[in-house]
Amino acid sequence: MRKVVSFFFIVGILAGCVSEGLKDRSISFKQPHYFPSIIFPEGNEPTHLRFELGKKLFYEEKLSKNEDQSCASCHRLPSAFTDGRAVSSFHENEFARNAPTLANLAWSPYFMSEGGVPTLELQALGPIHEKHELGLSMQEVIDRLKSRENYNELSRAAYGRELDAFAITRALACFERALISGDSKFDRHYFLKSNDYSELEKEGMNLFFSERTQCSSCHALPFFTDYKFYSLGLEDADIGLERRTYLEIDRGKFKTPTLRNVELTAPYMHNGSMSSLEEVVSFYNTGGGTRITKDSRVKPLNLSKEEEHALVAFLKTLTDWNFVQNEKFLVADED
Amino acid sequence: MKMKIVNNYFFVLLLSVLLYACREETTTPAVLETKMNLKFIPTYNGEPLSVDSIYLNSFGQQLRVENVQFYLSNIYAHNGSDSTLLKQAFLFTLLEPQTLTLNVSPQSFSSLSFGVGVPGNLNKNVDPSQYANSNPLSVQGSNGMFWYWNTGYIFVKVEGRYELTGLPNEPLMDSYAFHLGDDPLYRVLHFNTGSVSLAEGDARTFNIEVAVDSVFNRPADPIDLSIDNLTHTTSNFPLAERMTNNFVTAFHLQ
């Protein structure tokens, strides 16, 4: 009798060990009260393991054809998830563009410069498949990762399924949704009334939100973008929004980029043709480019040199140093 | 007494076995599947298409066809005002004849129709990762026939190489690629089959020729490869529209 009891006791313990596995739990993303609430897509509410799986995939070089590039190659944390290069394609092509920051994607109504991708989950498919970027098929990605480390275990625990396109896209989106940036000097001054701006920064802010410059009519609060499409008149081969709409009036129009952390995201414009904030402000001050589709608000501003400096000083207050130094967005070096 | 009880048990057991056997026989009728085979046969100038062959187009330019892929969707059988959906979507890679076998219910019909491409409700703003891998609209199943920068399926791909002089032995160095898609390019084709009645257990094959030469040589709009050799639809929509109109004339029910 004693032996029978011991047998069932041991079996019970072993069964307990087998069913233990990875345990997931819901998490919430810390966000400023002056940002609207995040609306998470059904089935991809944030959890600890979804975030961890997404982060692991974000830094995974096996996702690229030659196993030497990852999402983080073009979206590096110290540069507010940009890469400092003019354009980020690994090969020259007419649609190679400047890498956008990934800050505050949780609120973006659509993705890509033409706005043709409706969800962050779907966006994740683009760079993986694009031959000028990571350049793999999803089947190749899965074949590579399934045999590696604990991807399958993480996927089962996070999404209740083996690693597949569904789990990969959702996990990457979950990680990217966590990249929230709203703790800059501007936020403390404007929303939290810290009142620690210099006179130059105050002057720059006043100019930025003025009728005279109309900067904030497109770079609107709280994300410093209205997510709409405009042409600044820049002439190059990239037709911008026209690529999606086929309309000539959309030629050279691109989605308004956020200005949060703009100090760290040089070079600027869709083609990375401007290397400094001073150059960008000067470009606006002289009336922008010459393309016929240029937005009517882009016109000579007659700003003095001091006013240009003030605008640049203000733009530098949009840097969120806690965001770009947040180690939760990094993976531990596994080598 | 003991023997009588055993006999009673034996009788009940025997009865149970007999009843079970009877039930088996009467409740499992043989299921005879009714099949419709749609056999798509790629040709060029009436001959079977060959990836090794070099063809001449209307402008005397030499070309080789290296890839033909396309989606067919909403395959219907029509009988008067009644329509039966036979298949939602199927992706063809058509360098050799390919047969789509459909298990259908017994029915009568007089025409078939299908869309070339993917209809709007399945094309835009859909997430292909929601489909099982076996679905031709899934990430894996679409096999490169999806645009990820502006969600939507590539309806038709025709790719290959060409040479402009038309002289024999000239190498075909340049490549052409026609990637056609987007909602305005979805086309629905109808084919009269005559009166067809499929009874239980029937199998019927319909041969549909896909005359790839129509892509290049449709008399109303022949394609000059020296000018028109590349479109990803958005990069040259007018050409994509022309190529689509040419491609849909390639289908002939034999």
CATH of the domain at A263: 1.10.760.10
Integer Cα distance of B253 and B206 in angstroms: 7
Tell me if chain B has a CB within 8 Å of the CB of A243: yes
Integer Cα distance of A44 and A73 in angstroms: 25
Boundary of a domain, candidates A180, A215, A241: A180
- Give the pLDDT confidence score for residue A309 in this predicted structure: 98
Integer Cα distance of A152 and A164 in angstroms: 9
Tell me whether residues A246 and B151 touch, CB distance under 8 A.
Answer: no
User: B76 and B94, same structural domain?
Assistant: yes
> Strands B187-198 and B174-181, how do they pair?
unpaired
- Give the pLDDT confidence score for residue B21 in this predicted structure: 52
Integer Cα distance of A215 and A221 in angstroms: 11
- Give the pLDDT confidence score for residue A136 in this predicted structure: 86
Yes or no: say if B70 and B98 are a contact pair by the CB < 8 Å rule: no
Name residue, tokens 């609060």: A221
Tell me if chain B has a CB within 8 Å of the CB of A222: no
Residue B225, token pair as written in the block: 């490869």
> What confidence tens digit (pLDDT) does each residue in B21-62 have?
555 455 556 667 899 999 999 999 999 999 999 999 999 999
Q: Mapping DSSP to helix (H, G, I), strand (E, B) and coil, where does residue A296 land?
A: coil
Yes or no: say if B161 and B63 are a contact pair by the CB < 8 Å rule: yes
Give residue A57's domain range: 23-180
Give domain status of residue A335, yes or no. Answer: no
Chain-centroid distance of CA A135 in Å reads 20
User: A146 and A219, same structural domain?
Assistant: no
Residue among A118, A125, A246 whose CB faces B148 most closely: A125
Q: Tens-digit pLDDT profile for chain A (335 aa)?
A: 455 444 444 444 444 444 457 899 999 999 999 999 999 999 999 999 999 999 999 999 999 888 889 999 999 999 999 999 998 865 556 568 999 999 999 999 999 989 999 999 999 998 888 888 888 888 899 999 988 768 999 999 999 999 999 999 999 999 999 999 999 999 999 999 998 999 999 999 999 999 999 999 999 999 999 999 999 999 998 999 998 998 999 999 999 999 999 999 999 999 999 999 999 999 999 999 999 999 999 999 999 999 999 999 999 999 999 999 999 999 976 44
Q: Which residues of A touch B151 (CB under 8 A)?
A: 116-118, 122
Q: Which residues of A touch B146 (CB under 8 A)?
A: 125, 129
What residues have CB less than 8 Å from B130, skipping those under 6 apart?
Answer: A166
Residue among B125, B235, B237 whose CB faces A118 most closely: B125
- Residue B241: pLDDT band by 50, 70, 90 thresholds? very high
Give domain status of residue A62, yes or no. Answer: yes
Tell me if chain B has a CB within 8 Å of the CB of A89: no
Give domain status of residue A32, yes or no. Answer: yes
The number of folded domains in chain B is 2
Residue A113, token pair as written in the block: 């410069």
Tell me whether residues B150 and A116 touch, CB distance under 8 A.
Answer: yes
Name residue, tokens 């007089």: B110
How deeply is B252 buried, as exposed, middle or buried, from its count of CB atoms within 10 A (0-12, 13-18, 19+)? Answer: middle
User: B108 and B25, same structural domain?
Assistant: no
Distances in whole angstroms, Cα of residue A45 to Cα of each of A177, A302, B169, B225: 10, 49, 62, 51
Residue among A117, A138, A166 whose CB faces B150 most closely: A117
User: A228 and A96, same structural domain?
Assistant: no
Name residue, tokens 């040419």: B246
User: A227 and A129, same structural domain?
Assistant: no
Integer Cα distance of B191 and B209 in angstroms: 12
Best mutation target among A44, A93, A122, A170 (most B Cβ atoms within 10 Å) is: A122
- Residue B2: pLDDT band by 50, 70, 90 thresholds? low
- Give the pLDDT confidence score for residue A17 in this predicted structure: 40
Tell me whether residues B148 and A130 touch, CB distance under 8 A.
Answer: yes
CA angle B193, B76, B130 (to 5 degrees): 150
User: B142 and B26, same structural domain?
Assistant: no
What residues have CB less than 8 Å from B241, skipping those under 6 apart?
Answer: B184, B185
User: B222 and B115, same structural domain?
Assistant: yes
Tell me if chain B has a CB within 8 Å of the CB of A61: no
Give residue B23's domain range: 1-30
Residue among B140, B150, B235 whose CB faces A165 most closely: B140
Tell me whether residues A122 and B127 touch, CB distance under 8 A.
Answer: yes
Tell me whether residues A246 and B237 touch, CB distance under 8 A.
Answer: yes
| Shortest CA distance from B238: residue in chain A | A246
Q: What are phi and psi of B179, to 5 degrees?
A: -110, 110
Q: Which residues of B touch A114 (CB under 8 A)?
A: 149-150
Listed residue (B31, B76, B58, B97) closest to B225, CA to CA: B58
Give domain status of residue A100, yes or no. Answer: yes
